[in-house]
Structure 1
């Protein structure tokens, strides 16, 4: 099943294109989209088409911050029917739980995990499509929107500790500084926002419990917009958990709120098994990691769950026909 997301994901696309003097029509046609199709923010469009459009637009406009520029003017209202519920949550923690609970109404490709480590919290995010496409533009847009949401809930003076990206830095970080108001690190081990744990429970001064109850009742009455398959949900979870060394079937099942047998049965009904999905995601991630010169082979080995580098080398050679050193030399 093709992963579909709301056309609202491309909010501000045409404004940024116009500012950069980019004609978007040929790029839209190439990925099977049109201005008319994007007019309704609730229209469902293929995620992979969005990723390809953003990457092509950044390249054609020679603007590596194309996606991030789209995030600059995002408002909570762009979250659609869930926006009222988000805006009246008592804390940022509660708002994040709403996003994860109703992601089928927001963005089926979004994978999010909140990791607490003492006084620090890491909000990890990934965009997971059908082709395993890496999207610098997509993830910068997603984290830009997440940062804007945090500021909307906690106020404009909210400052994360840092923002982390797995991809390399661009030459000019002016837009990153303007959007995030905190240090931005590249070549990191995850995509996400690091903040103080206390921020998650700081009161939202604009929260109205009565409005939150009304909004939740309304959202609960909505259909699932087609929902997403268990296979895709597991893929998203593996994307987040594999670099953390937690991509076991027990951990994934717990995160999805079911026992292992239930997860196995649902995957079997969907025509797959857990080990195949781990293998699939590992292949997609290794290509992403190998493309980043900041990642050493030993670091890549660890991120993919291999404690012994020689085991990673054997696996890679079996998958790609050459040793990782040779593959990297030939492809980058």
Structure 2
């Protein structure tokens, strides 16, 4: 499926590209992005083209933190109407919940979930349709942008409990230290931010109930007009819920406000089934986990909901045509091939 994002995602690209010695307009052209979209932040562009642009720019400049450099000076205004909706909420927790609801209007490829565990709040970020070998720049842009947003509301002295990425650590982490102001955890189970739940309950001084109601009505109308297909709604939920282990059709149905029979029936109308979508998401996540570092099979099996490492290994071979070790060997070979650069 072709996913779209607002061209405001390109904010700071020209500046960062020039800082690392690139011709930004040449890179845009190679990625298939017209320079005219830079003049219209509401224009929709291909998420895959954006992914290619970030990955190619990082590779051409010889830097591993290109996406994070773009996130470093992101502002709430870059989110357009979504940013206005967030400012109209009474608390930061409610603002983040509003972001989850309307994020698809900003980016069809980002899946964001909020999970409370004891006194902590986990903000998970995932990307639909991303190639596992080239996700680093995109996900660091997303998580870095979220961190900037939280500090916008909580103050520059605020720090998260932890910053997590599924990919391996870069060879040099100066930018990560500068942006996050704390050690970053790599090779983790998810991409996102962990903070104290109580910190997000503080009232927002920007709260305006009248404005909030009007903006929500406008965004609800835009959501209705976008008419996302039912299978895609299910896919988003599976991607969000799978790492938590609560990803049965019953759990997905609960999030959709229906029973499991209704989920099966509506998917059937689109020629889809819950199992095929679930397995497709599993395959995508398995590729990413096999790509990022040397995770033990038992850990990967647990993250993907398998009862044992052997069951996961059999499933991986059946769906991807090789063992995890062979997959990693092939990937390493392609990354070392100059023709892939």
TM bin, normalised by shorter chain, reads over 0.9
> What is the aligned partner in structure 2 of residue 39 from structure 1?
39
Structure 1 residues 253, 276: closer, same or farther in 2, change over 3 A?
A: same
Hey, what's the Cα distance between the residues in 1 that align with 2:157 and 2:232? Answer: 36
Matched, 1:248 2:248: yes
Alignment TM-score, normalising by the size of structure 1: 0.93
Hey, what's the Cα distance between the residues in 1 that align with 2:104 and 2:322? Answer: 40
Matched, 1:323 2:323: yes
Where 2:35 maps in the other structure, the secondary structure is coil
Hey, what's the Cα distance between the residues in 2 that align with 1:98 and 1:133? Answer: 31
C-alpha displacement of 1:67: 0.7
Structure 1 residues 101, 240: closer, same or farther in 2, change over 3 A?
A: closer
> What is the aligned partner in structure 2 of residue 22 from structure 1?
22
Hey, what's the Cα distance between the residues in 1 that align with 2:70 and 2:37? Answer: 18
Which residues in structure 2 correspond to 1:1-332 (within 5 Å)? 1-129=1-129, 134-222=134-222, 224=224, 226-332=226-332
Hey, what's the Cα distance between the residues in 1 that align with 2:222 and 2:305? Answer: 39
C-alpha displacement of 1:24: 2.6
Alignment TM-score, normalising by the size of structure 2: 0.90
C-alpha displacement of 1:185: 0.4
The Cα offsets for residues 227-255 of structure 1, whole Å up to 9 and x where unpaired, read as: 43222222222222222222211112222
Q: How many positions carry a matched residue from both structures?
A: 332
In structure 1, list runs of 5 or more residues that go unmatched.
Answer: none
Question: 1:105, 1:224 within 8 Å by CA — same for their partners in 2?
Answer: no
Hey, what's the Cα distance between the residues in 1 that align with 2:134 and 2:267? Answer: 25
Hey, what's the Cα distance between the residues in 2 that align with 1:222 and 1:305? Answer: 35
The Cα offsets for residues 146-197 of structure 1, whole Å up to 9 and x where unpaired, read as: 1111122222222110110000011221211222223310000001100001
C-alpha displacement of 1:210: 3.9
> What is the aligned partner in structure 1 of residue 338 from structure 2?
none
C-alpha displacement of 1:25: 3.0
Question: 2:89, 2:95 within 8 Å by CA — same for their partners in 1?
Answer: yes
Q: Tell me the C-alpha RMSD between the 2 structures.
A: 2.0
Greater mean deviation of Cα atoms: 315-324 or 274-283: 315-324
Question: 2:102, 2:223 within 8 Å by CA — same for their partners in 1?
Answer: no
The structure whose residues are more often helix, as a share, is 2
Question: 1:112, 1:125 within 8 Å by CA — same for their partners in 2?
Answer: yes
C-alpha displacement of 1:292: 2.0
Structure 1 residues 67, 246: closer, same or farther in 2, change over 3 A?
A: same
The Cα offsets for residues 35-94 of structure 1, whole Å up to 9 and x where unpaired, read as: 113321111111111111111111111121111111111111111112222123221111
Question: 2:313, 2:324 within 8 Å by CA — same for their partners in 1?
Answer: yes
Hey, what's the Cα distance between the residues in 1 that align with 2:129 and 2:314? Answer: 27
Question: 1:245, 1:305 within 8 Å by CA — same for their partners in 2?
Answer: yes
